[in-house]
Amino acid sequence: MNQDKKEFMAEAIRLAKENLKTGNGGPFGAVVVKNGIIVGKAGNSVTSTNDPTAHAEVNAIRDACKNLNTFQLDDCEIYTSCEPCPMCLGAIYWARPKAVYYACTKTDAANAGFDDSFIYEEINIPMNNRKIPALQMMQSEAQKVFEEWIKLDGKIEY
C-alpha cells in the first residue's frame, strides 16, 4: 500500500483518537480523498449532536459533498477507522466513491461495545417480523408522487 493511502488512514485514525479527548462521540474517524487531497473529514459526533446518524463516515461524506458542491463522490476514496456499519455502508453506496479503505473490522467494533450484528440480522428478516415493525400504508397515494417524478422534465437524477 502506498504512503499516501497510509497517511489518509492515519488521519482517519487520528480523528477517531481525537474523539477520545474531546468526547464528541464514539472512537471513529473518516476522511474523503479526491485526487490525493482530503476534501472531507470528520469524527463521530452522535452524542455531542444528539444525532444517531452522525457517524464519522456520514459526517465526512456530508463535509466532502459540501466542499465539492456535489451530491456524489464518484472520483473519491473514503478512509475510515473502522469497517462501516450498515447505515454508513448505505450512505457510502449512495455517495458512489470509487473505493473504501477501513482499519478495524466490525468484529473489532463489536469487541469494543459497538455491535451492529443485530442490524445485519434484522435486514434478512421480513419487514413485518422485525423488532421494530415496519407496516406499509397509503401506497397508492405515495405512488402518485413517483408517477409525477417519472414525468417531470429537468429533474436531477441520482
H/E segment holding residue 18: helix 3-22
Burial of 23 (0-12, 13-18, 19+ CB in 10 A): exposed
Catalytic position from the list 57, 77, 83, 147: 57
The DSSP symbol for 29 reads: E
Residue 141 is among the residues annotated as catalytic for this protein: no
Asked if 82 and 60 touch (Cβ cutoff 8 Å), the reply is no
H/E segment holding residue 20: helix 3-22
Point out the residues that are catalytic.
Answer: 57
